[in-house]
Structure 1
Amino acid sequence: MNSKSLQEMTVLITGASRGIGAAIAERFASAGFRIVIHYLNSHEAANEVARACLAHHSEVMTIRADLRSKEQIVRMYEKLEQLGMLPDVLVNNAGIAHFGLLQDVKEEEWDELIGVNLKGMFLVTQTFMPAMIRQQYGRIINVSSIWGLSGASCEVIYSTTKGGMNAFTKALAKELAPSGVTVNAVAPGAVDTSMNSRLDPQEKEALAQEIPVGRFAHPDEIAALVYFLALPESGYITGQIISPNGGWHT
């Protein structure tokens, strides 16, 4: 059982230097959580997110690691352990996209998406979940995609990684349930982030018209759901793939 207040709890968000990850960091900071912002290359962007979180008077740190490297993740763990900031909440948000016909996909592109979107999630979770098991409390929330549920033409390998993330979520939830650790995934529909920057204004408008609510989601709306799943009172929700998508996919 959790005996900590929210202000005593730490959340680690991977890939938190922009977009949904940045919104998640700010949402938790507004509630007083201690925030760990992970990034790979976007040092200044991560610092900007950290400054936004500090404005909420939360304790904040940024940390760099290549999530495809077990060695770098272990170093990240050791640093957080030394600082007394091992996460009570882990948000596996880091991910990359790919658009193109499957027949044109190069092997190295496949390896890169699997490496970041699946291997990275696996390594981070495997490294940090034992501490949650020891304290008999934890929240693991994986940021998936609507395409992991329905699939998307010209995004086959991206859809594959998100489908794998969903299966990982369901299976691990059963494994960790006796330890007081929940595992859920949030699978957003179209969100107004840089990941959709390949779409021109006309394409965005056409896509928005397919969505019953008539618009893309704002990152803050996704962050609100992630935050809810992280709360102590959400302990009976586990193994779920929840898709905030404006009615686009039901």
Structure 2
Amino acid sequence: MKTVVITGAASGMGLSATKLFLEKNWNVMLADFNDEAGKKAVKELTKSYQKEHIAFQKTNVASAQSVKELKAATAKVFGAVDSVVNNAGIFTKGALHEVSEEAWDRIMAVDVKSIFLMTKYFVPDMIQQKAGTIVNTASISGLTGDYNMAAYNAAKGAVVNLVRAMALDYGKYNIRVNNVAPGPTNTPMFQANPPQVIKQFKEASPLGRIVEPEEIAKVIYFLASEDSHAITGENIPVSTGFEIYSGQPVQN
């Protein structure tokens, strides 16, 4: 039985991915900074899935010590890790001059440094076993620019290019690294927007809707599994078409 570690696993896309991996008979180590939400998620998951395949570790993905503790806990419960899903992330609004230094450092730590730390402590075992997959949650905001989202654009832009370097470095060990790049997704964070804003997002999509977390989960699982064995170093948008428009007006 294979094992996956998923960060940001207590809600949204991470929780949807957790459920799908469990449905596919993987062991799942849930990692999340929110201890209460993580324990609640495990309690709910054990109603539908075998508890011996589920574990939770409170984790600060921006802390080397915390990631080392996650690695040790995973090894103790499940042994070898076959896949790491770097899904944890935060969002910061504002033009660059409006963003505080603290907010800038925080988003870079959670959205970018976390991938460095998770790779540093989990990849050596993958190298030894000559197999493994890593899936990072990037964003279409790393592929394009947005108004009032400079720090987020910078962080996700780093993730978008980091995946290529990781894929080049680890391919010789049979380790594949890919990104899923979601567009606006129906997570609790997105649902906190006013109804009018949600309506505007839906209208901006060529499909007239936003992405559901379960749709992201399917792509995460695909990239983590052997079904994608010929894919590495790629950014896969899952966006209902948000990133395909040039911005030019309709020409008659």
Normalising by structure 2, report the TM-score.
0.92
1:19 is matched with 12
C-alpha RMSD of the superposition: 1.3
How many residue pairs align between the two structures?
A: 242
Taking a change above 3 Å as real, the CA distance of residues 27 and 84 of structure 1, as seen in their structure-2 partners, is closer
> Which consecutive residues of structure 1, in runs of 5 or more, have no partner in the other structure?
1-7
> Does structure 2 retain, via aligned residues, the 8 Å contact 1:213–1:247?
yes
Structure 1 outlier segments of 4+, above 6 Å:
none
> Does structure 2 retain, via aligned residues, the 8 Å contact 1:146–1:243?
yes
State the Cα distance separating 1:197 from its structure 2 match: 3.9
The answer as to 2:49 corresponding to 1:56 is yes
State the Cα distance separating 1:178 from its structure 2 match: 1.1
1:150-207 CA-to-partner distances (Å, cap 9, x unmatched) read: 0211111011100101111011001111111100000001101122245211111111
9, 19, 38: which one aligns with 1:46: 38
> Which consecutive residues of structure 2, in runs of 5 or more, have no partner in the other structure?
245-252
50, 61, 64: which one aligns with 1:70: 64
1:32 is matched with 25
Q: 2:128, 2:146 → 1: CA distance?
A: 40
129, 144, 150: which one aligns with 2:144: 150
State the Cα distance separating 1:17 from its structure 2 match: 0.8
The answer as to 2:74 corresponding to 1:91 is no
1:95-118 CA-to-partner distances (Å, cap 9, x unmatched) read: 000112222111111011111111
Q: 1:84, 1:220 → 2: CA distance?
A: 25
> Does structure 2 retain, via aligned residues, the 8 Å contact 1:97–1:195?
no
1:10-58 CA-to-partner distances (Å, cap 9, x unmatched) read: 0100011110111010010111100100011x22321232234331326
| Matched AA of 2:17 | I
Task: Give me the identity figure in percent.
Answer: 31
| Matched AA of 2:7 | T
Normalising by structure 1, report the TM-score.
0.93
Residue correspondence of structure 1 range 65-214 to structure 2 within 5 A: 65-214=59-208
Secondary structure, in 3 states, of the residue corresponding to 2:143? helix
Secondary structure, in 3 states, of the residue corresponding to 2:243? coil
1:5 is matched with none
> Does structure 2 retain, via aligned residues, the 8 Å contact 1:30–1:53?
no
